[in-house]
Structure 1
């Protein structure tokens, strides 16, 4: 049995180095341990993560049922089922190991979780917790791995089963830490750079000058009257307004397939990269995003009106053209952005929204791809643009 268990652990370590999906690793490991002779029927692997939405991620394996991924939002691990869970009990007790027979032999710790597991037919439970780093510091940050095992055989886990599971915990923790750190890095890079740029950076596009020429629909949006608001409101109050505004604009952009490149104060720059095959589809998505931003702003302003607050105003400029998509800055501090006259023209179109009294202004080049959805607003000379530009607005009813 021990040879097969060693092979199972070697397998999961090799897969961890290859970067296999953690859920597939959990499933493959548990199935191999069963074949090796361990009577496990349920296993839980849990770890904290560094993510703007999630506090932790858990993989739950059941014999014959595969693996289920459970995501825990920030705050959810301070309420509800977590308060009655073995992992919370272990953290509070400062314990690295918890054994509990579920056949009525053991009464402590008295957790509803164990009552439920016993009702489901499980007979024995063992859990281990391994911190990632100095113990006190890691526990304070909830930085480590929690692994629990259950069996439904009447006699429970034998002593050699328990010794084996405890022995392999350290090697599993190494694999988990590697996967956890890679996931954390990917989460942080994506949160601050966006998914498209994050992939490019993590794939090695990190030197100044790295980039490519692309065609794209460029989005530039701005919040109206932000300077007087910033001067009249407290910092937290103004920050709350900014985040609501970003949910309207950047949120709509992202939800329709656009890539958020920069938050420039209260402005948002984004792109819909064009491939040449589905350009018309992407052009429609850009307009859909602008329409959605208007709808979200209307809903936000309705809520603000009910509180006696002034409405917020926005401007959105949309243009299509070639840009350089790559790294700029100094070698020690870079930013991934779009550069070129087309990006400048999108910003100028956003400024034109003030002149024409519309929230959304679209360039003539983009309008050629979606003419049925737009109406001409006339020709204008934009600062820094060498040609007269025919500007377009959204038709009513969108």
Structure 2
């Protein structure tokens, strides 16, 4: 290789749980089809993969990748299995990096890095990463600049390595040759101008073979990587579905829906600590602030309250206008009653701490301060799908869910930011401040309520 190569051949073909062991896959295939796969005891060094026949080994890896795409594949073990198989077949891969675009409110892509003998590393790429120096100096960026889907660098040539820190890292690992490939997930799709618009897979492959990649190695990678991309695309679909339901429903509710709880009425009765917080003076803020400033204030309030719940191990179920409905589950897969109450109370304190910092920043900018009221309760709730058959919502319902909203209303009447029920207070030995007995709208009899210690 005399110069870095940007392949002018546009390879925009459509392409595109852990990875199963390749030898186990071959063994299963042999059991199903003896005419296609001879007995492993008679094939290959030591019996089994690798067979010692280059084309047959590459075909076995190809079949394995397709089989993985049909299962519940995850990219990290898939990449490790793929690289280990290529090394075993005689295609020496020292390092491989796979960057998979994703649909996520915080990240634009996930990267998976394999280094032979060192295992895998996974990292998340945040939105806006295309503007960073790391991307501007990436050896893969020239593919987007030149509208091509392949690049190659000689790691033994200092002139080719110098502009790209990642190439220097690969060279220092012992790499001699670098191949970058881009696989789009849309047949006949156009390569986007910017990487953050990519719907596809970027991969780089580094060998430590003294002579670099041989011609047959390059042919094998060009053949196999689209199949790897196919499996990665299937993993991405499952991950995207999980990202969406987690972002809009919460992780537990989202997983329940993905696992089949989708019909109206699907659900169960679960004991929980129930959190209901509501933003104060929201109507006044909405009328006096611009649309953008009000949304910013609303999201700051949610960061204080819902953010504290999530950090404390709770599950945010709904944003009801400017209110937050959340639970800390008790029992199977959840917490003990004492643990759930302690976590909820700690989250309440954390929310107040966040509010203090938020308001300090808002005062410094001349913006109105924010406030909220919070009710905490313990009880059994119906956790499942409500609505109409064609439009359902996963949430909690039942008397306890109604009571916690009424408790929150008492924060205005009593002048305390947080009010808890007697049932909640009974689970924690803290210096509760009694607020007397109150009648909750729609609830028979009077209910004794408490406020946390003054620190809250």
Report TM bin, short chain: over 0.9
CA distance in 2, matches of 1:31, 1:192: 38
**2:92 aligns with one of 39, 45, 50:** 39
Q: 2:223 aligns with which of 148, 167, 177?
A: 167
| Match in the other structure for 1:369 | 427
2:189 corresponding residue in structure 1: 135
After TM superposition, the structure 1 = structure 2 runs for residues 98-247 of structure 1, keeping only pairs within 5 Å, are 98-104=151-157, 107=160, 110-133=163-186, 134-136=188-190, 141-247=197-303
CA distance in 2 between counterparts of 1:137 and 1:148 reads: 17
Instruction: Give CA deviations for 1:137-171 in whole Å, capped at 9, x if unaligned.
Output: 76662110112111122211111111111111221
- Offset of residue 119 of structure 1: 4.0
Deviation at 1:394, TM superposition (A): 0.4
Question: Aligned match of 2:389 in 306, 318, 331?
Answer: 331
Equivalent-residue separation in structure 1 for 2:60 and 2:432 (angstroms): 64
TM-superposition CA deviations, 1:241-287 (whole Å, max 9, x none) = 00100010000011111111110111111111111761111111111
Matched-pair contact (CA < 8 Å) for 1:248–1:293: yes
Instruction: Give the Å deviation of 1:108.
Output: 9.0
The alpha-carbon distance between structure 1 residues 37 and 373, as it changes in their structure 2 partners (threshold 3 A), is farther
In the aligned structure 2, how far is the partner of 1:282 from the partner of 1:60? 38
- 2:92 & 2:353 partners in 1: Cα distance? 56
Say which is worse superposed, 13-22 or 91-100, in terms of deviation. Answer: 13-22
Higher relative contact order (CA 8 A, sep 6+): 2
Match status 1:283 vs 2:348: no
The answer to whether 1:318 aligns with 2:318 is no
Using the TM superposition, give the Cα deviation of residue 373 of structure 1 relative to its aligned residue in structure 2, in angstroms: 4.2
- In the alignment of these two chains, the number of paired residues is 398
SS in 1 for 2:190: helix
Distance 2:279 2:256 in 1: 30
Aligned Cα root-mean-square deviation (Å):
1.8
SS in 2 for 1:46: strand
**What is the alpha-carbon distance in structure 2 between the residues aligned to residue 92 and residue 332 of structure 1?**
46
SS at the partner of 2:109?
strand
Show structure 2 runs of 5+ residues with no match: 1-53
Structure 1 Cα separation of the partners of residues 190 and 419 of structure 2: 56
**Which moves more between the two structures, 285-294 or 85-94?**
85-94
Q: How big is the shift at 1:341?
A: 1.2
SS in 2 for 1:215: strand
What corresponds to 1:393 in structure 2?
Answer: 451
Q: Is the 8 A contact 1:9 1:29 kept in 2?
A: no
Q: How far apart are the structure 2 equivalents of 1:20 and 1:132?
A: 17
Query: CA, structure 1 residues 105+310, in 2 after alignment: closer, same or farther (shift >3 Å)?
Result: closer
**TM-score when normalising by structure 2:** 0.84
| Contact 2:58/2:89, CA 8 A, preserved across alignment | yes
Structure 1 unaligned blocks of 5 or more: none
The CA deviation string for residues 339-376 of structure 1, in whole angstroms up to 9 with x for no partner, is 11111110011110000000000011111111424221
